[in-house]
Amino acid sequence: MPHFSAPDGTKLAYHVSGHGSPVVCLPGGPMQASVYLGDLGGLSAHRQLVMLDLRGTGESQAPGDPSSYRCDRLVDDVDALREHLGLETMDLLAHSGGTNLAALYAARHPERVSRLALITPSVMAVGLAVTGEVRRETARLRRDEPWFPEAFAALEAITAGRATDDSWQAIAPFLYGRWDERAQAHHAAEDGQRNDEAAAAYGAEGAFDPDATRAALALLGVPVLLLAGEVDLNSPPRAVTELAGLFPDARPVVQAGAGHFPWLDDADRFVATAAAFLGQDILPVTGMCGS
């Protein structure tokens, strides 16, 4: 397993699959091990995927200072990986909560990003809000599903501030385009992959400065893919479209029938979209190894 050292000495791991020019991939959760990304539905057939295990997750070491789990502090870890890989600039792909980290990285180091792919993105870092009504409208697209009544009742409880642990479990089907055995197994594995202490610190006070981030992203001179799932309750297309408006070169795409994990719902369509955006026009980088 290749490793590198973060600026504070924490030993961080990453996973490599595929061949060609690397794409650095940041997982969501937040603070979930990158294993849940798999090979992004086969995207590794088009580009080399470098999946970072954020500190305290997966094969990466837990830091001595738990406050270093805060999202803005993780930017230095991402840049240390870039340096370790020997990249002057990099294509950066992030999913869900990890898109907040990608946004902060691009805001702080715009000259080091060549392309930015935000998959079913969070809007926390830029201060946007997803209303309960938008989530309910998105949820109603699934009203013909057999699990809908129980899941929608749980969503109503959550949006009304009456959430319980059972409520959060009950809405899980809304995150997948098909609530089949594969989706259920993917969801069941989540608890064992996420660092709850790190997740609690990720968005702690001071992690985000939405005004500053929005101002920086408005000047970002690289293409940005924003991929939404049509039925994604977590990152509804309406919110992703609003996020796209913050970038000068945004390419919003809504994947039909997809939830929060579009590479699981329709791998071929997801890979076609991502591969077309990322391209294959950069020479491979050689010599990547552990330290």
Kindly indicate the confidence band of residue 286, based on its pLDDT and cuts at 50, 70 and 90: very low
- Alpha-carbon distance 28 to 194, whole Å? 9
Residue 287: HSE in the Cβ half-sphere, 13 Å Cα cutoff? 6
What is the reported pLDDT for 287?
A: 32
Residues near 133 by Cβ (< 8 Å), separated by ≥ 6? none
Question: pLDDT of 32-55, one tens digit each?
Answer: 999 999 999 999 999 999 999 999
* Residue count (the chain): 291
The whole-chain average pLDDT of the chain stands at: 94
Q: Is the dihedral of CA 181, 186, 187, 188 positive or negative?
A: positive
Q: Residue 280 — pLDDT band, cuts 50, 70, 90?
A: low
pLDDT given for residue 282 in this prediction: 38
Closest CA to 156 of 141, 136, 129: 136
Tell me which residue of 49, 87, 63 sits closest to 6, measured CA to CA: 63
13-27 pLDDT, tens per residue? 999 999 899 999 999
In this prediction, what percent of the chain has a pLDDT beyond 90? 92
**Helix, strand, coil percentages, rounded to 5, for the chain:** 45, 15, 40
Cβ-proximal residues to 52 (8 Å cutoff; 6+ apart), any chain:
12, 14, 24, 25, 26, 27, 34, 77, 78, 81
List beta partners, residue 253.
227
Residue 179, pLDDT above cutoff 50: yes
Residue-level pLDDT at 42: 97
pLDDT per residue as tens digits for the range 142-176? 999 999 999 999 999 999 899 888 999 999 999 99
pLDDT-based confidence at residue 285 (cuts at 50, 70, 90):
very low
- Range list of β-strands (E), the chain: 3-5, 11-17, 22-26, 48-53, 90-95, 113-119, 224-229, 250-255
Rounded Cα–Cα distance for residues 4 and 164 (Å): 40
Looking up tokens 């996973």, which residue turns up?
Answer: 15
pLDDT cut 70: percent of the chain above it: 96
Residue 283 pLDDT exceeds 50:
no
Q: Dump the DSSP string for 221-241.
A: -S-EEEEEETT-SSS-HHHHH
Segment 46-65 mean pLDDT: 97
Amino acid found at 175: L
Q: Residue holding tokens 């968005």?
A: 203
Whether the CB-CB separation of 134 and 123 falls below 8 Å is answered with no
Burial class (CB in 10 A: 0-12, 13-18, 19+), 23: buried
Specify the pairing of strand 90-95 against strand 22-26. parallel
